[in-house]
Amino acid sequence: MATVCMQLSVAQKPNSKFNGVQIGAITYSYRDMPDKTLEATLNYVLQSGINSIELLGGTAEQYAGVPRNRDEVRQWRKTVSMDKFMEVKKMFNDKGVNIHLVNFGYDKSLTDEEIDYFFNVCKALDAKGIVAEVSEETAQRLAPFADKHKRFVVFHNHGQPGYVENFSFDRILAHGKLLMLNLDVGHYYGSTGLNPCDLIKRLNKRIFSLHLKDKTGPTYYPRDANEPFGKGQTPLVEILQLIQKEKYPIYCDIELEYNTLDSDPVTEVIRCVEYCRRALVQKPNSKFGGVQIGAITYSYRSMPDQTLEAILNYTIQSGISSIELMGGPVEQYAGIPQDRGEASQWRKSVSMDKFKEIKKMFDAKGVKIHILKLGSPGWSDEEIDYAFNVCKTLGAKGITLEISDEAAKRMAPFADKHKLYVILHNHGQAEKPDFSYDSALAFGPRVMLNFDVGHHYAATGQNPCDLIKRLNKRIFSLHLKDRTWVGKYNESGNLPFGKGQTPLVEILQLIQKEKWPIYCDIELEYEIPRGSDAVAETFKCVEYCRKALMK
């Protein structure tokens, strides 16, 4: 299984409460990660940006030293001290993670002493209840224990609402006031085809938490009916916005059950968190630890819809809040003629109204445009003025084009005139012995670099950090990509972040440490894996950067 997950200790405390709605996860979501220890589970939760969880009881028991033999387990549970479980609570709380439920997996063979033990562990972890599979028999058995320990029993459903004859949540809840629901909205929808919102509205006072998953329905089984969030038919956005609107105090926990393909559970849980955040907040934020991560929208060139509206949507889906915007879709939105001669004349006379619309559109979705890729040294003076006027109208700080002394010489006076930057991008030029970044920069103080660290490394084999340290005041932005050094620039390929030799983590952490105001833009150029797309891969790159910066 390919993975972009990096084992990092996270210093900043997570926050996954968005506009009053607590998004969490059941730690079962991380079952396919290689390290099953409690400490690793906590690290996965932190990497996912989650601050409240439903914890699998077995993980806590292993930390506390539970024997492997079943008969020994029963005896151990009768006598074990709660000290280790209080350690677990402290360990999670110190990292900013609350345990709101503990899930041991109830079965009929449990003794009364074991059920008491479950509730005692629940209290030691400062959780509010234990989870059990929904059934009337279980409700009758556990209701007195809930009353005794003053903790909830929270019943989780699978497909019972659709395939158990005469099934009723109400009959189960009627067995006690401390009996609540852990409503799995995916299983409910998948087994009945009914909108879970109707049940949530009716039973909201008896719903402690939700399990969030996206399923097609009504096809409860097989398991492959689970889909990535937004790809199935479960109305997750409607559900989350209902919780938000009505201010129901219901925990909303991600349960990852779809096939993660070439990804890993941590990355996919992060995607689910981001999906929920967008439903509740709707504006992305890709500034991590003081470093602005963005993307050049060229990264989405393989997506089917290349309209400006679609590109904005791809940006939001990637969780990105600041971009280098390609000029082509901008001009198409503004109505540029297809004929080259007519386009040149159009640029000299077009109103800025459509470009004002674009800025308003992007601002409304929380996406800033920091660079516009538009213009050419070969354009007429009037066309170059047009490019800078569009740049200014969009709220961008400069236009970018390929590095050369000729380009710098031609564009520098226009940058001065418009009080914006001309930002020069490198490919493999540094492979040539006589090439100099300084030569182009010497044409004026508003000539800056859009320094492509991957291309520089592939061309020279040199650590880009050295150049960044020397020229940081003349670097406006970076292009982030991962390449290898093989001795010849054109023979070096692009690879997924973390798979090549470009020291991306070192570069990002240098920017962070020195607090340099340098935009760090992902440029997706590696081959997109089968079953994925440019949006999903850009999101992975964003998460790679986030993990590097939030340690």
338 and 476 in a common domain: yes
338 and 256 in a common domain: no
Is residue 477 in some structural domain? yes
pLDDT of residue 2: 34
**Global pTM?**
0.76
7/515: higher pLDDT: 515
Q: Name the residue with tokens 């997706």.
A: 524
**Residue 543 near residue 536 (C-beta atoms within 8 A):** no
**Residue 437 near residue 405 (C-beta atoms within 8 A):** no
412 and 274 in a common domain: no
- Smallest Cα–Cα separation from 468: which of 489, 499, 495, 437? 437
Domain closes at, from 246, 280, 314: 280
Structural domain including 427 reads 287-549
- Please, what sign has the CA dihedral across residues 525, 422, 464, 3? negative
Is residue 3 in some structural domain? no
Is residue 2 in some structural domain? no
224 and 152 in a common domain: yes
pLDDT of residue 461: 96
Exposure string over 127-139, b if 16+ CB within 10 A, otherwise e: bbbbbbebbeebb
3-state SS assignment for residue 257: coil
Residue pLDDT, tens place only, 312-358: 999 998 999 999 999 999 999 999 999 989 999 999 999 999 999 99
**Residue 281 near residue 292 (C-beta atoms within 8 A):** no
State how far the Cα of 21 lies from the Cα of 143, in Å rounded to an integer.
Answer: 28
247 and 110 in a common domain: yes
* CB neighbour class for 504 (10 Å; exposed up to 12, middle 13-18, buried from 19): buried
When divided into structural domains, the chain yields a total of: 2
467 and 402 in a common domain: yes
* Assigned token pair, 114: 């074991």
Is residue 385 in some structural domain? yes
Is residue 36 in some structural domain? yes
Is residue 6 in some structural domain? no
pLDDT of residue 220: 54
547 pLDDT higher than 90: no
Distances (CA, A) of 127 to 92, 93, 103, 124, 517: 12, 12, 10, 8, 43
Is residue 9 in some structural domain? no
92 and 22 in a common domain: yes
**The three-state (H, E, C) secondary structure of 483-524, written as one string:** ECCCCCHHHCCEECCCCCCCCHHHHHHHHHHHCCCCEEEECC
320 and 208 in a common domain: no
38 pLDDT higher than 50: yes
Percent of the chain with pLDDT over 90: 85
Q: How many Cα neighbours within 13 Å face the side chain of 382? A: 8
399 and 518 in a common domain: yes
Residue pLDDT, tens place only, 371-406: 999 999 999 999 999 999 999 999 999 999 999 999
Confidence of residue 262 (pLDDT cuts 50, 70, 90): confident
The chain-wide mean pLDDT, for the chain, equals 94
Exposure string over 154-179, b if 16+ CB within 10 A, otherwise e: bbbbbbbbbeeeebebeebbebbebb
Domain closes at, from 258, 280, 302: 280
At 437, which amino acid appears?
A: Y
12 pLDDT higher than 90: no
pLDDT of residue 8: 36
- Please, what sign has the CA dihedral across residues 391, 397, 400, 403? positive
9 pLDDT higher than 50: no
Residues in contact with 502: Cβ distance below 8 Å, sequence separation at least 6, in sequence order: 453, 454, 457, 458, 464, 481, 482, 483, 484
Is residue 52 in some structural domain? yes
Residues in contact with 495: Cβ distance below 8 Å, sequence separation at least 6, in sequence order: 482, 483, 484, 526
442 and 408 in a common domain: yes
404 and 331 in a common domain: yes
Q: How many Cα neighbours within 13 Å face the side chain of 207? A: 25
Percent of the chain with pLDDT over 70: 96
Domain closes at, from 233, 253, 280: 280
321 and 246 in a common domain: no
Phi and psi at residue 312, to the nearest 5°: -60, -40
pLDDT of residue 119: 98
The enclosing domain of 344 has a CATH number of: 3.20.20.150
